[in-house]
Amino acid sequence: MPRARSLKQTEWQTAAADENAGGCLSFYALPPLAVILIACLLTALALNSPIRTSALPINTSTSPGRLSPIFTREVQHWREDILRWATASSLDPNLVAVIMQIESCGDPRAFSRSGAMGLFQVMPFHFYFGEDGFNPETNSLRGLAYLARSLHTANGDARLAMAGYNGGIGVITRGEWTWPAETQRYVTYGSPIYEDAKNGATSSVMFDEWYRRYGAGLCNQAAQRLGLP
């Protein structure tokens, strides 16, 4: 914050003289006052004028708190929960949706050969004793805590955070050529899908390729579990 400028001796004297002057305005003070009043009037009129919205930049990207339409109906089934979970975890809901899409396509009972469980395919050792790993609230709590930690370690880089989520946070600081093939594939699809989602795209070439190669069977199973027609 800039400091106030010190008054010179002559300025202090002028100020003191003004304080001792009469209360009525002199004739010579009227023209400057008129200028000030006109300026104030013009400013007030300007403030009440309508804003030309055509001159404002338009952001076409997906607004925070909204979910991209590119995700499948199985993931959209969890839309309100995703928004709530993302807010609680301080994460972008579209990033959360990408993870759910690739991991389970919204199947709360998904179970992998390695033992990963539920919507976010959380490994059993992330749960506390007695917790139900298939419970959506518990699964999201543990899974998104790990995603948030991965994103923090990656300094906000969503691509590296996805790698850490899939391959373990330790891979973030390693060269990509050392990553497991599954992790490389994970970010190859996940990163551009996320970019399309957060930038407001209504379709995604990489999403379509992922769905055709890996997602169709996963999503069919999810639809059956969710009772979707």
Residues that are catalytic: 103
In whole angstroms, give the CA distance from residue 83 to residue 35. Answer: 55
In whole angstroms, give the CA distance from residue 206 to residue 194. Answer: 10
In whole angstroms, give the CA distance from residue 25 to residue 187. Answer: 75
Helical pair 93-103 and 79-89, crossing angle rounded to 10 deg: 120
Decide: 197 and 204 in contact? Cβ < 8 Å.
yes
Q: How far is CA 34 from CA 27, 38, 40, in A?
A: 12, 6, 10
- Within 154-213, residue ranges assigned H as helices are 158-167, 181-198, 205-210
